[in-house]
A = this chain, B = another copy of it.
């Protein structure tokens, strides 16, 4: 017996379906509660009650409360991959793709300040989740660096910058924007994001664009 196929040979199986259903129910209930009440204020019992299962069932699916949010990683991975594909296709200029990626990545935490705080709290609190996150973030940045490299080849991004470094700065700017908004959600995240991305992308575009002509040089003001 090399392959441990066990008892999952060719059955779509009632169990399989149930399992996925239950997992989905728990996940969605958790997300709604996190969005409305926040991570800390939501108890596992509330989640399971909302999902219509017993408390113990939760831990058959997720090893800890934080791990539910670990699920988001998959979403983000998908988004990054899709945008990399988009960049490769070449229909859109890379800066535009980056802009869209920024919006896509912040879509979920941006659902509510509570949700943003929940995500950050969970990522920070749980050693295991954090470890996984940091790996995925790293590979995600590599993908972004690849997009940037493509943009450089096409003359859409200044080529005197190291792609990996630009990717890192992109990442930092995104995170900073979300966290600052989570701490102090004055206006919609989207607005902050526009500003941030505009800045980063502008800084990454070829020098040619000279967006600062009306710079009155007050030299003599000293």
Give residues in A with beta carbon < 8 Å to B: 40, 117, 120-121, 123-125, 130, 133-134, 137-138, 152-155, 158-162, 165, 168-169, 171-177, 179-180, 182-184, 192, 195-196, 199, 203, 206-208, 210-219, 221-222
Whether the pair B120, A218 counts as a contact (CB closer than 8 A) is no
* Known pairs A155-B222, A183-B124; A173 contacts B173 (CB<8 A): yes
For A117, give the chain B residue with the smallest CB separation: B124
The chain B residue with its CB closest to the CB of A184 is B134
Q: Whole-angstrom distance between the alpha carbons of A162 and B161 in the complex?
A: 26
Whether B121 contacts A215 by the Cβ 8 Å rule is no
| Interfacial chain B residues near A179, Cβ < 8 Å | 120, 175-176, 179
CA distance A171 to B218 in the complex (A): 22
Name the CB-closest residue of B to A208: B217
Q: Which residues of the partner chain B approach A174 to less than 8 Å between Cβ atoms?
A: 176
Identify which of B123, B158, B161, B183 contacts A130 (C-beta below 8 A).
B183
Contact A183 B218 (CB under 8 A): no
Q: Decide: A211 and B169 in contact? CB cutoff 8 A.
A: no
Give complex CA distance A174, B173 in Å.
Answer: 9
Q: Which residue of chain B lies nearest to A134 when distances are taken between CB atoms in the complex?
A: B184
B160 pairs with A215, CB closer than 8 A: yes
Nearest B-chain residue to A219, judged by Cβ: B155
Indicate if the CB atoms of A137 and B183 lie closer than 8 Å: yes
Chain B residues contacting A159 (CB-CB under 8 Å) are: 215-218
3 nearest A-B residue pairs (beta carbon): A176-B176, A134-B184, A172-B176
Contact status A171-B180, CB under 8 Å: yes
A214 surroundings in chain B (CB, below 8 A)? 160
Residues of B close to A134: CB separation below 8 A? 183-184
Closest residue of chain B to A196 (Cβ to Cβ) is B172
* A48 and B25 alpha carbons, distance in the complex (Å): 43
Q: Once the chains bind, are A207 and B210 in contact (CB under 8 Å)?
A: yes
